[in-house]
Structure 1
């Protein structure tokens, strides 16, 4: 059996959360049960569709108005969805208090290095080194990250708890759990579990979705023929007087393959979440004693030439059968990148539907091309992904324009209809 015990993450304050809590602990079981019920069931996912569509429309409008700020718009889109579903707060801009608070925590975490790749994970004795010692910058980074991550867990949660107490709380994951715990007299015992379950949702969903969408845009810049095929499929299936919805997904197999290929081409967490063995094990003739540090190289799995021919190329067709339907004989990267076994991400369905809706909506309304420099020369970005806990493409530029003059009006009309019905 495998459990998670990552020293570097424990030192910065993630050890009580769903992703890192001991496997059989009551705390972890409760957190997973709550998240699964809220985000992992197909019936409950339908309750988020209006929110997903609303935020997608705002995202599209922002891309049309200031396309050069596409990275900021992706950030606002991803965090707005998470913060509203988890804490009940609507996010109008990146200046929102909770956005800045949580982004600082995520940036500090990414600065500590890849998952399980921190120096304290390889040399555990270093956790006893004082932060003031020369050469102990890793310890100072960890202490800085711990303070920011503590604030990211406590401040939004405390605001929701106060709102529940005053009767002003908007519907959200945290508010519902707080209300139930209060009614049953269990809040004092469950407060920390609710707090860390909410924090884990933000950490797991914001940067990873941001990574996927930035990777998608980069791929469309580098592989324009893929984007053209995606647009052609949308034009055949979706009427030009509306935007795509999640109900269109069964009829958009190529778009679905583009999403799969985006997951495969750059797994958001390339080394996965590291684990430790709780008992002796053997793999391919190698004996692995208890407490062995296990890092699952998702990047290598998704670049395995035996599974995916020409893995460095972005080729959604690898997932299509000759008939044009999904080829079920090709390994779906979602079975890898969202985790596996009993550590499978319980929020994966919400994340996947969010990504699909964003990808389909971008293809339906926008053109994505290479940017040009001040002299008018085409700028071709590189497909490089610097090492970090969450993998983001190296900074790049692109040109984003509306597909037609009436697209903006369509987006605004769709948004108005959503707002009037919610």
Structure 2
């Protein structure tokens, strides 16, 4: 059954049901990354010793795996449907989590990094949850569904770090391996949950004659598209840069592994908790203002980080970082939906996520190189010019918007 076959009341009910299914799946699937991020760099230090320059390679591998999988994820779901695609997308993390645990037990750093590629691949499929939430319904319903699904990350903010703390010594005296077993378990739970999703649009198999819409270059030339992508990339990349470096910086300042894990927990909670009302804020104040607020919060995070090195400075900065990511990234995602037509969504969503994760992969690798060189202060200083660049693109898009009309949804 397609959207056109459903009466409006049934469509609204189906959209709401899907949003709740995706919210639960986000809680499980979203729990993988806080674990991998909290302990990825620390596991790298454990396996490498004193050399911190390569310690964040496992975290970089997560983002590289995501970047390489974004377009395949979007293409797979366009051909098989959301439900099948999302279920299959959880499989790499199951394998990757188990392989990562074995790599730590065996003392194989590069095998750990290789395993993280698979975990990152599943994270790319998890990013499609937010797009699956906006497949159907009017703009108000889609905005609220998007916010609800992103709000599922609040649960992952609790589940992920707490699971990391309780499972990190599962294979004592070898640390961290148990946490990666927890990642595999969360991936399995996400697959079982998302199998209850109901496809509301018909997939397009290879060779079908459906309209593919405008050429990609034409869509990408829209100032609104450029602004949406740049704001999304800036929000995600700066969040990745600071978040990746934070646990290593905290340990370097004499804080404990539990402090680092709890810092990531507060950060992830701040990333997703506002999602319950971000949709309403977007409806009331507009997408652009919410994105501007997000970029401002990212800059506030950098300011707090530069003011001190106590646990409260780290935790406060990580909370602001999460809030900034929420407003900036969700606002940019909502902006992106204005720039494509239904038949173009698979290509545009895949391209957007590829750019987001490719730049974020560079940011996570850069974090490892910089934390052992110029240091924590320099890393936070990068946030200011990047935020200014995104704001400039947003301002330019606002000025030229009447010249480049938004395509009809």
Do these two structures clear the TM 0.5 threshold for a shared fold by scoring above it?
no
Hey, which of these two has a bigger chunk of helix by percent?
A: 2
Q: TM-score, normalised by structure 2?
A: 0.31
Largest Rg, 1 or 2:
1
Hey, which of these two has a bigger chunk of strand by percent?
A: 1
Q: TM-score, normalised by structure 1?
A: 0.30
